[in-house]
Amino acid sequence: MRTAGLDDTIVAVSTPIGEGGIGIVRLSGPESLAIADKIFIAADGGTPSRYTAYTTHYGHVVARGQKQATSHKSQATKIIDEVLLTVMRAPRSYTKEDIVEINCHGGLQAVKKVLELVMKHGARSAEPGEFTKRAFLNGRIDLAQAEAVLDVIRAKTEGSLKVAMQQLDGELSKTVNGIREDIINIASEIEASIDFVDEDIETANTETLAARAGRVIAALKALIGTYCGGAVLREGVLAIICGKPNVGKSSLMNELLKRDRVIVSPIPGTTRDAVEEMISLKGIPIRLVDTAGIIGTKDLLEKEGIARSKKYLGMADIAILVLDHSTGIDEADKAIMGLIRDTPKVVAVNKCDLAGTLGSPKLKKLFKGAEVVEVSVAKKKNIELLEKAISRLVWSGAFTQGEAAIVSNARHKESLDKALANMLSVKKALKEKAPPELVAVDLKEAVFNVGLLIGKSVSEDVLDRIFEKFCVGK
């Protein structure tokens, strides 16, 4: 994405395309109010360029100079739509530019005609994410906050929304800025020792600077340590329900989804393809996949379903292994257990209401480290216990959800990892009393890498990759 510059006035539809109650056409830039003056006739007789900020006005969007025949008279303007127009003035707006939002009727044609009219009067179509990019370039938000805007839009659960809102509010940026300032302060001491080596200027000794570098390292490690849980909330977890045919995989998926999504039948092999759905489990976004039962078969469709099941198992973050209490463990179960040997798992022993041989004590010895839950999907027994076990498996070793600064973005973690490597090198060099010029190089790189996270040092190519993921109207 290469934008033409901040001197342009941009426009986009900020609501989903299609039928709806309202469609919003948003303008941002120096000519927003002037364009609005040309196309809006207010019921109160006013003009947008004279309205005060944060006011909304009723009227019509019109194409001036085009005649519209009526049963009574010929008008000098053609009415496009009946609208509400809102004015937001720079610098107190989303982009820190003049913004006009036109609330049209939500039909496809009404929104399209208003958009075309605005562009006819000089606005250009916004690039994906350009409104948010302008907010960043104009200094209203930093880059981490800009990325959080997209995370808020895409949040699938309460937990992922909470993390995104914390980042949008600047909690992560505040922590990162503090770390960056600490590194800059250490760098200034090193630079002073280089520039004024022959002058009587007091600077901190290497032991003190090494201790300060150690505190920065601890802060970086603590922040990086939140990534595992943060990524879980942001990206979700791929959880595969696996087992041999007719153990109750599809029934369990329907129960976890709280609706009948998958066809359930006593006939083995009913599920011939992987079925994927997103659920929120204890605040965690989970991509739940019901797979075909894995057995030997000559049926071509079953073979393809089994191949896909094995592919999903290779990608799984966690596995939910379903066993049949009434039949015990056979060779088919053992084959599947081999496929998920190294995958974190929860074992669901289904049909525990029937007579059988699979007891929890025996299975806990077999599946060391994995939680075993006896359930009866048919009787809806212990489903909540299974959900809690899955939740504990996901959060094992992760952060406490109440933490303020949380890293959930892979780009952020990469920048912090690089900065940590720089600071470890700084601390080692200080302890070994290396030449200050060498220490200064690592400190400069650490400042740069931390700055990448919040946009203090970022290339146009990186910005393009970030904002091209946004929708056009944001």
Q: Which CATH number fits domain 236-395: 3.40.50.300, 3.30.1360.120, 3.40.50.620, 3.40.50.2000?
A: 3.40.50.300
Q: State the average pLDDT over residues 388-397.
A: 80
Residue ranges matching CATH 3.40.50.300 in the chain: 236-395
The residue type at 209: L
pLDDT tens-digit readout, 101-146: 999 998 889 999 999 999 999 999 999 999 999 999 999 999 999 9
CB of 373 closer than 8 Å to CB of 389: yes
Residue ranges matching CATH 1.20.120.430 in the chain: 150-226+404-455
Write the burial class of residue 332 (CB in 10 Å: 0-12 exposed, 13-18 middle, 19+ buried): middle
Which of the two residues, 356 and 353, has the higher pLDDT score?
Answer: 353
Sheet holding 99-105, edge to edge: 40-42, 55-69, 74-88, 99-105, 22-28, 10-13, 124-125
By DSSP bridging, strand 10-13 and strand 275-281 are: unpaired
Which of the two residues, 175 and 269, has the higher pLDDT score?
Answer: 175
Share of residues in the chain with pLDDT > 70 (%): 84
CB of 356 closer than 8 Å to CB of 326: yes
pLDDT score at 278: 82
Residue ranges matching CATH 3.30.1360.120 in the chain: 10-140
Does this model's pTM top 0.85? My answer is no
**The two structure tokens encoding residue 29:** 């830039």
CB of 23 closer than 8 Å to CB of 11: no
pLDDT score at 362: 72
CB of 339 closer than 8 Å to CB of 310: yes
| Contacts with 301 (C-beta within 8 Å, 6 or more apart), sequence order | 272
Query: CA 20 to CA 22: how far, in whole Å?
Result: 6
pLDDT score at 209: 92
Q: What are phi and psi of 182, to 5 degrees?
A: -65, -40
Q: In the structure, what pLDDT confidence band is assigned to residue 74 with cuts at 50, 70 and 90?
A: very low
**Which of 27-31, 153-157, 318-322 has the lowest average pLDDT?**
153-157
pLDDT tens-digit readout, 147-167: 999 999 888 777 788 889 999
CB count within 10 Å of CB 162 equals: 16
Query: CA 190 to CA 209: how far, in whole Å?
Result: 9
Please provide the CATH number assigned to the domain covering 150-226+404-455: 1.20.120.430
Tell me which fold the domain 10-140 belongs to: Gyrase A; domain 2 (3.30.1360)
Q: In the structure, what pLDDT confidence band is assigned to residue 223 with cuts at 50, 70 and 90?
A: very high
Residues paired with residue 20 on neighbouring β-strands, in sequence order: none
**Residue-wise burial string across 249-259, b where 16 or more C-beta atoms lie within 10 A, e elsewhere:** bbbbbbbbbee
Q: What are phi and psi of 288, to 5 degrees?
A: -95, 125
pLDDT tens-digit readout, 259-302: 765 544 454 444 445 678 888 877 778 888 887 655 544 444 45
CB of 383 closer than 8 Å to CB of 358: no
Q: How far apart are the first and last CA of the chain?
A: 14
pLDDT above 80 for 371: yes
CB of 241 closer than 8 Å to CB of 320: yes
pLDDT tens-digit readout, 245-268: 888 888 888 888 887 655 444 544
